[in-house]
Amino acid sequence: MDLRVLNQQHAYQEICSFWDRHGKGEDEQPWQEWDYVFAMTALYRMKRYEDCLQLYHEFHHAYPSSSLLDDRMGWAVYHVHLKGHDFKQGDNARYLKQVDFVLHHGKQGPYSPVAWIVSQVVKAILSGELGQKIDFQRANDYLDCLDPKKLPQEERTYQQDDGKVRRSASEQEKWYADKSKILLKLKQYDACISCCDQALAVIRRFHSNNDAWILLRKIESLIELKRTADAKAALAHLLQGPARHWKMYMLGYQIAVLEHDKDAALKYIGAAALLDASHEMRVQFYEETASFLNEAGYDRMAMLHYHLVDLLRKENEWKLKPHHFSGKIPEDIAALDKRATLRELKDFWRTQRDKDKVFLDGQVKKILPSGRSGFIDAADGKSYYFSFADVQSGRKHLTEGSSVRFTLAKRLDRKKNRLSDNAVEITVEQA
């Protein structure tokens, strides 16, 4: 029996036959350590994963200090017990035991299943598949089994059923994204800030503006620690980038409240509310800003925000909650429907967002081939770069030659690595 030669010849079926005879007690020759390795390779190649586990049990009993088969064992466990696990009907406790078994015996490496299995179990935990109450501490413990610096930095590519190739974040980027999110949830703010700083320092290219979300978590942590100056500086840097989300302005509002800057708070309220139409996502924010407006003397606007919160809760069949003020919403406001409420609020939001801003008129000179950006020739004779993400009204009507109204903001030109004036808050003037 020379399994080494058969392995070199890729004669996996013949090697498997030796293992089958060995299992039946028909093989009188003693098996050496590398015989098990070649047999495990053959069984794995033939997708006989259950037999791989049986072989590992025998091998580990004969050679308890050897780690030669730990990687293959881990992958076999993955195929037999973890891949395709039904989290709704399956035994989730047993699933976690199998995960822990692999992590106990395996080590992170280029051919090890450890990193892949950790990513899968963390994904299951954070998605709620392993229980309605997400166990962030367990997810954090699993992530600590990996060294992020050893994870691949290249974007992952995969082919969908329609044949199109899609890209997703690298394993390293995914680790930092999950880790920073979990640390924030665990209220480990200093650790979250350190994690975010590491991610921003080591990841060369982020997927789908993930750097913005990581920086958002850093800012949230800084706010929780009352480090308002640092949070304010980080937010200013974030707003120079291309990514836009209402939460950025929500954090600006929180910083302004901590600094007792009423004017800045009002500007951020308007910017957050007008960024998109996802008002149901901002119920808690509107509740908080209503209390702020009430204390700041904007009584009617406060009541309109409270009323909008009630309308959104009813619309989504959510439980109504008592508001943070004594008394009732005035009858004239309570009688308004959602459309009328938003009409009045939008006027207020625009007024607050746009005060002290100078708006320019111009015409779209060119839309770049990507269809996501272009240039506007302004009435002042200058040409300004713009992104479609900054078109706030009339985006579907925007073409080359469209008349637009806009203001300017400093944005980072990544190619030139410098700040430049970009056209933002763009409104398409429809004929």
320 and 313 in contact (C-beta within 8 Å)? Answer: yes
Q: Cα–Cα distances in Å, from 197 out to 129, 146, 184, 193, 194?
A: 30, 18, 14, 6, 5
pLDDT of residue 241: 83
Is the backbone of residue 417 left (phi > 0), alpha (psi -120 to 50) or beta? left
Neighbours of 165 (CB within 10 A): 8
pLDDT of residue 351: 94
Look at the alpha carbons of 359, 365, 366, 367 in this order and tell me if their dihedral is positive or negative: positive
pLDDT of residue 380: 85
Residues 39 and 18: their CA atoms lie apart, in Å, by 8
Residue 74 amino acid letter = G
Token duo for residue 250:
């929500």
pLDDT of residue 326: 78
Token duo for residue 408:
């300017």
Q: What angle do CA 302, 352, 227 make, to 5 degrees?
A: 85
The whole-model pTM stands at 0.83
Any alpha helices (H) in 127-170, and if so which ranges? 136-143
Half-sphere exposure of residue 285: CA atoms within 13 angstroms, side-chain side: 23
365 and 383 in contact (C-beta within 8 Å)? Answer: yes
pLDDT of residue 21: 92
411 and 419 in contact (C-beta within 8 Å)? Answer: yes
The pairing of strands 373-378 and 383-387 is antiparallel
Walk along the chain (431 residues) and give the pLDDT tens digit of each residue: 689 999 999 999 999 999 999 988 887 788 999 999 999 999 999 999 999 999 999 999 999 999 999 999 999 999 999 999 999 999 999 999 999 999 999 999 999 999 999 999 999 999 999 987 999 999 999 999 999 999 999 888 877 777 787 888 999 999 999 999 999 999 999 999 999 999 999 998 898 889 999 999 999 999 999 999 999 999 999 998 888 899 999 999 999 999 999 999 999 999 999 988 999 999 999 999 999 999 999 999 999 999 999 999 999 999 998 888 878 999 999 999 999 999 999 999 999 998 888 899 999 999 999 888 999 999 889 999 999 988 988 888 899 999 999 999 888 887 778 888 999 989 998 75
Q: What is the dihedral of CA 270, 276, 281, 286, to 10 degrees?
A: 20
Residues 66 and 366: their CA atoms lie apart, in Å, by 65
